[in-house]
Chains A and B, each alone.
Chain A
Amino acid sequence: NAGVTQTPKFQVLKTGQSMTLQCAQDMNHNSMYWYRQDPGMGLRLIYYSASEGTTDKGEVPNGYNVSRLNKREFSLRLESAAPSQTSVYFCASKMEGNEQFFGPGTRLTVL
């Protein structure tokens, strides 16, 4: 039981490049989330998926797209990366009414 896994762990992009952050969970959770955390700040919700086939915007969705590929996987895509998207990205999952479980994070730098 690996919990929530994220790939890659680290990534450096140039401005304008695109990439997809991958997240998978093996706990059969319905809900999945993407957060970003800037230095010295708390986590801010980007997008979430309450169930397979649905996605909703969080607090800071601009510049991102998501795909809930199946129940296990929830990906976050940056179509044209900007330096303001330099951050640590965390994926999380949960069952309804329960606590969230977080992945180890992806550290993204956009030059």
Chain B
Amino acid sequence: DAKTTQPPSMDCAEGRAANLPCNHSTISGNEYVYWYRQIHSQGPQYIIHGLKNNETNEMASLIITEDRKSSTLILPHATLRDTAVYYCIVRAFWGNQFYFGTGTSLTVIP
């Protein structure tokens, strides 16, 4: 599975959009981009995933560049409860090996 690179930390003002980048320059054609988050020391929580088209659900939007070498997770209106570590993972759809890396620690500031 491809490795990912994320900034170690970011801040975002409450109510503003949080844009979390991820580089995955070695992603292969059958690999999807997944985003999870981990609040405090709880188990990670699934957010969204995509292959090449942009995706949106009730939690977030995922923007994947045309060459698929990078992506951005967007939390449209960040709240204090969105403070968490966000992990970007790439893996084959049927794959079982998940490499979480160290993620981005997002702090939402009142």
A→B interface (CB under 8 Å): 4, 31, 33, 35, 40-45, 48, 50, 56, 58-59, 88, 90, 92, 96-97, 99-105, 107
In the assembly, what is the distance between CA of A41 and CA of B85, in Å?
10
Minimum Cβ distance to chain B for residue A26 (Å): 16
- B96:A43 contact, CB within 8 angstroms: no
Most chain B CB within a 10 A radius of its CB, from A44, A59, A99: A99
- B98:A45 contact, CB within 8 angstroms: yes
- A50:B93 contact, CB within 8 angstroms: no
In the assembly, what is the distance between CA of A4 and CA of B46, in Å?
14
> For chain B, what secondary structure do more than half of its interface residues adopt (helix, strand, loop), or is it mixed?
loop
How many residues of B are counted as interface, with CB atoms below 8 angstroms from the partner's CB atoms?
Answer: 20
Minimum Cβ distance to chain B for residue A102 (Å): 3
- B41:A105 contact, CB within 8 angstroms: yes
- For A107, list chain B residues within 8 Å (CB): 41
In the assembly, what is the distance between CA of A40 and CA of B46, in Å?
20
Q: Assuming A92-B43, A103-B43, is B97 touching A43 (CB within 8 A)?
A: no
Q: Considering the complex, which residues of chain B in the window 18-59 have a beta carbon less than 8 Å from any beta carbon of chain A?
A: 34, 36, 41-46, 49
- For B46, list chain A residues within 8 Å (CB): 99-101
Minimum Cβ distance to chain A for residue B24 (Å): 15
